[in-house]
Structure 1
Amino acid sequence: MSQRRKFIKQSLVSSALFLPGVSAFSKTLEKGLQKEEKPLILSTWNHGLPANKAAWNKLKETGSILDAVEAGVRDTELDMENLSVGLQGLPDREGITTLDASIMTGDGACGSVAFVRQIKHPITLARAVMEKTPHVMLAGEGARQFAIAQGFPLEKEELSPKAKVEYDKWKVTSQYKPIINIENHDTIGMVGIDSSGKLAGSCTTSGLAYKMHGRVGDSPIIGAGLYVDDEVGAATATGLGETIIRICGSFLIVELMRQGRTPQEACEEAVKRLVTKSKNIQDIQAGFLAINKYGETGAFAVHPGFNFARATSSENILIDSKSHF
């Protein structure tokens, strides 16, 4: 099925070459397909542009796609303008910033941390869990103790200036049911493929703004916020984590690709399923990115407004995703 689908795509591209004034690439985009290209790095939202740049630089330096996806989101974890990733992110209801992150390679190796405090780079801590423990996930105080044992410095626990201003505003009403479209609180997810076809992905966040203390979203959950398989492809998610967890979103997309769906078709099906399983969908935003082992890509969201960054050897551009509504 996958070979037949690839042949059909190649035929579409070849036919488009003969249409006056229209490139083959634009025609494939119209059909929801992407030009096959490797190496390739995708990441969510506007902050994906500088993250992609950092990832690409690391890929050129070490040749490792794992190093690249770690370095890319580390850049976002340090971005003081970003209130959805890193220690500068918006806090929970108690005014405490807690972080989640996961990392995975296409051979099944993975690691994650959840509900972590005072760690500047949770993505690097997640990689340490993957490479230096027999576990996949460490959470809370246990994750912090492991970080200390690994030589991670503990940062001072205080809100960033911007986060404090926003938190003080929120406390005036203290609405206990955050609406993600209003608070616009999102993560960064990144997936990449190298020239040999090796895949890796990363995901890191400070979580839903003003969440209940102890809440964990999709980002550190392998199969929800991130999933990677060298035999098929990779996917990552962003948005309201509870809705993504309920459908095992990233794993679902990879399995749909395994069954022969294109990355775009798989992302659209995952959003369709999320919509059917979610209440109050008008207040919920969620989006997915996917890449298959051929270097084809897909993106789709519940509502308009989701964008992603796409980096190749020739460009690093921001693209608006299509949406269900």
Structure 2
Amino acid sequence: MSNRRSFLKKTLVSTSLLLPGGIIQACANPVQESTGEKFKPLILSTWNHGMPANDRAWEVLMKSGNLVDAVEEGVKVTELDMDNLSVGLQGLPDREGIPTLDASIMKGDGSCGSVAFVRQVKHPISLARMVMEETPHVMLAGEGARQFAIAKGFPMESETLSPKAEEMYQEWKKESKYKPIINIENHDTIGMVALGPDGKLAGSCTTSGLAFKMHGRVGDSPIIGAGLYVDDEVGAATATGLGETIIRICGSFLIVELMRQGRTPQEACEEAVRRLIAKNSANIKDIQAGFLAVNKDGEYGAYAVHPGFNFARHHSGGGTLVDSKSKF
């Protein structure tokens, strides 16, 4: 797992933010979280791979004004990132050696779509959007999701593992032990939430899930209310980490409802982490989860169980990688 550890330790060299009137250079190094700030428009996404994803999302938003296009196109960058081993078809496979993908997308008016346990689709986030816009359903899974993709003209990709994934899978098979390592094996989901200049909200989430999971396992990312929840009246939240623990507390929905009751995004994220810890106290040292939220006023917050979680923040002043606070 050394290549994932080294990936986590890399410092982002640079990024840029396309704005009307020119290019603003973004901050290169992570900064400490600052609560109470408000920005509109604002794009947030999980982990350092959120920086290039946010760059693309901001570019789309500035050119088109379409927030759903922005959150879809942004995370598609990560779905194609060959260095990322938990998003996209290049991600680490399940125990059978098969990469299976989950994704969801949601608008602030309640429209949403997701796909789970889908195979051979390069951009599951685009398929999730098609579920939202072209079916009466919210979620399609497994072979049904794949058949829907074929019917809609998505090319079916090879299930040949990427070189990095193949190497790590062969190494894993020597002992075939399954134990996620926090900040290494359960973090690379990308969740993105965005607030438009008009106050509308949207979000997206995509992952290949936990490495070497049981065949058929689905995490929190495609589950509306767990990995992602968006409400124009209140705000939006997304989650990353060990999906089972996030599902058990309906983490993203919980955060939005806490904000509805008057909590700030930061307070809501911290309360979600406290509840997650309470439900998993016996083995919490082996569990990482992080939450990211924005309210309709442009105030944001983030919080994690353990140190190591960071997030990308883009607004009219530039793009920054921010270190989240954590409970421990």
TM-score by length of 1: 0.89
**Structure 1 residue 32, shift from structure 2 partner:** 5.9
1:118 aligns with 2:120: yes
**Structure 1 residue 30, shift from structure 2 partner:** 9.3
Q: Is the 8 A contact 1:87 1:99 kept in 2?
A: yes
Counterpart of 2:102 (choices 100, 103, 117) is 100
Structure 1 residues 50 and 31 mapped into 2: Cα distance closer, same or farther (>3 Å)? closer
Other-structure match for 2:241: 239
1:171-191 CA-to-partner distances (Å, cap 9, x unmatched) read: 111103434445354200000
Other-structure match for 1:296: 299
- Name the count of aligned residue pairs: 297
**Structure 1 residue 33, shift from structure 2 partner:** 2.4
Structure 1 residues 157 and 221 mapped into 2: Cα distance closer, same or farther (>3 Å)? same
Taking the aligned partners of 2:121 and 2:247, their CA distance within structure 1 comes to: 24
Other-structure match for 1:21: none
Other-structure match for 1:253: 255
Q: Is the 8 A contact 2:180 2:186 kept in 1?
A: no
Other-structure match for 1:149: 151
Other-structure match for 1:132: 134
The amino acid of 2:87's aligned partner reads V
Taking the aligned partners of 2:169 and 2:300, their CA distance within structure 1 comes to: 37
Q: Is the 8 A contact 1:111 1:128 kept in 2?
A: yes
Structure 1 residues 39 and 124 mapped into 2: Cα distance closer, same or farther (>3 Å)? same
Counterpart of 2:272 (choices 270, 273, 283) is 270
**Structure 1 residue 300, shift from structure 2 partner:** 0.2
Taking the aligned partners of 1:253 and 1:228, their CA distance within structure 2 comes to: 10
Looking at secondary structure, tell me which structure has more helix per residue.
1
Other-structure match for 1:6: none
**Structure 1 residue 313, shift from structure 2 partner:** 1.6
Q: Is the 8 A contact 1:253 1:266 kept in 2?
A: yes
Counterpart of 2:63 (choices 44, 61, 64) is 61
Looking at secondary structure, tell me which structure has more strand per residue.
2
Counterpart of 2:37 (choices 21, 32, 35) is 35
Taking the aligned partners of 1:181 and 1:32, their CA distance within structure 2 comes to: 22
The amino acid of 1:112's aligned partner reads S
Other-structure match for 1:15: none
1:320 aligns with 2:323: yes
1:82-114 CA-to-partner distances (Å, cap 9, x unmatched) read: 101000000000100000000000000000000
Q: Is the 8 A contact 2:33 2:322 kept in 1?
A: no
The amino acid of 1:40's aligned partner reads L
Gaps of 5+ in 1: 1-28
Counterpart of 1:219 (choices 218, 221, 225) is 221
Other-structure match for 2:53: 51
Q: Is the 8 A contact 1:116 1:144 kept in 2?
A: yes
Other-structure match for 1:20: none
The amino acid of 2:97's aligned partner reads G
Structure number with greater CO (CA < 8 Å, separation at least 6) is 2
Taking the aligned partners of 1:169 and 1:184, their CA distance within structure 2 comes to: 18
Among the aligned pairs, what percent are the same residue?
Answer: 77
Taking the aligned partners of 2:48 and 2:270, their CA distance within structure 1 comes to: 21
The amino acid of 1:254's aligned partner reads V
Flag the structure with larger Rg: 1
1:203-237 CA-to-partner distances (Å, cap 9, x unmatched) read: 00000100000000000000000000000000000
Q: Is the 8 A contact 1:300 1:322 kept in 2?
A: yes
Structure 1 residues 168 and 30 mapped into 2: Cα distance closer, same or farther (>3 Å)? closer
Taking the aligned partners of 2:90 and 2:200, their CA distance within structure 1 comes to: 32
The amino acid of 2:75's aligned partner reads V
Gaps of 5+ in 2: 1-30
RMSD between aligned residues: 1.4
TM-score by length of 2: 0.88
Taking the aligned partners of 1:183 and 1:122, their CA distance within structure 2 comes to: 21
Structure 1 runs (4+) greater than 2 angstroms displaced: 29-34, 176-186
Taking the aligned partners of 2:149 and 2:33, their CA distance within structure 1 comes to: 46
Structure 1 residues 56 and 225 mapped into 2: Cα distance closer, same or farther (>3 Å)? same
Structure 1 residues 31 and 198 mapped into 2: Cα distance closer, same or farther (>3 Å)? same
